[in-house]
A and B are shown apart, each in its own frame.
Chain A
Amino acid sequence: MTKIKYNGIEVTVPENVYEPSEDSFMLVDTVIYYVSEGMNVLEIGTGSGLIAATIQKEYEKCSVIATEINPKASLCAKHNGVNVIRTDMFDALKKNKKFDVIIFNPPYLPTVDEQIEGWLNYAFDGGPDGNDAIESFCERVIDYLDDKGTVFLVTSSLASIDRALKIMEINKLQPEIVNSTKHFFEELVVIKASKSRQ
C-alpha cells in the first residue's frame, strides 16, 4: 500500500494498481482548470481514482463517473470516493449518454517483448507503438461526447505524440497540445480536443 497526496487529496494505492505519477498530476492540473461546476465528467481507466476524486472534491455539483477494467483498481477508486463502473472503456455506457468532459490517461508504453503480469498490464501496455489504447479510445469517444464537450488525454514521447494527434484528427476530433513538460527520459503532453466542426 502506498499513500499518494496531491492537491489536498490523499489516495491509498495497493499493489497491482497504477500509482499516480507525473502524467496523472499533469492531467489533473490541466483538467481542473477547464472543468466548471455542474458538468458531466467521465474518466476512462481511472486507476486509483486520483483524478476523478480531485474533480469531485473541487466541483461538488459535477457528476463524475469513472470506468476501470482492473478489479483491484476499481475497488481502490471506490474506496477513494469515486463512482466507478468496472468495464472496458465505454463498453457498459449507453450511447445516448453525453459528457461535457472525458478524461483519459492511457497506457502509452510501447510493448517490447515482455508484458507485466496480470491486470496492471492494462495500465502500461500501449501496444507495439504505444498508441493502441489511444486509438481504441478515439474511435469511440465521439459517441459519448457532447457536441460542445472536450476530451483530455495525456501521452508521451515514448509513444508518438504526432501519431496521437493524427489519430484524433482521423476520428473527427480537433486536438491541441495545452500542456507539456520535459522529463529525464520523455516529454509528456496533455492534448485537449473537441469535435471537429467540418
Chain B
Amino acid sequence: MDILACPVCKGDLVLNVMEEDDTEVVKGIISCNACNIDYPIDDGIPNMLPPENR
C-alpha cells in the first residue's frame, strides 16, 4: 500500500481489507476518495486500472 497512488489523480488511497493471509491482502478494496473510484484487490492483485480500462 505504501507504494500505491491513484492512477488518475496520483493522490492517496484508503485500503479496506476483506480477506488477508500472513503475507498480503488477498481480497479488498482500495479507494480514492478524491476521484470516488474503487480499485478491487482479487487473488492478492490490486487492479489499479481506471474502470474504463479494465
Contacts and interface: CB of A to CB of B under 8 A. Distances in A.
Given A65-B3, A97-B3, A91 B45 contact: no
Interface stretch (A80-88, A147-155, A180-188): A80-88
Contacts of B39: 92
Contacts of A194: none
Interface in A85-137: 85-88, 91-95, 97
A78 B44 contact: yes
**10 closest residue pairs by CB, A with B:** A92-B48, A91-B7, A87-B48, A94-B5, A92-B7, A86-B47, A97-B3, A74-B45, A85-B46, A78-B45
Contacts of A84: 45
A193 interface: no
A95 B48 CA distance: 15
B19 interface: no
B43 to A, nearest CB: 6
Interface residues of B, number: 17
26 contacts: A65-B3, A71-B47, A74-B45, A78-B45, A83-B24, A85-B4, A86-B46, A86-B48, A86-B49, A87-B7, A88-B7, A88-B49, A88-B53, A91-B7, A91-B49, A92-B4, A92-B6, A92-B48, A93-B3, A93-B4, A93-B5, A94-B4, A94-B5, A94-B10, A95-B5, A95-B10
Interface of B: 2-7, 10, 24, 39, 43-49, 53
A69 B43 CA distance: 15
Main secondary structure of the interface of B (DSSP, over half): loop
Contacts of A74: 45, 47
Contacts, number: 49
A65 B46 CA distance: 12
B4 to A, nearest CB: 5
A74, A88, A94, A97 interface centre (most CB from chain B within 10 Å): A94
A74 B48 CA distance: 12
Nearest to B44: A78
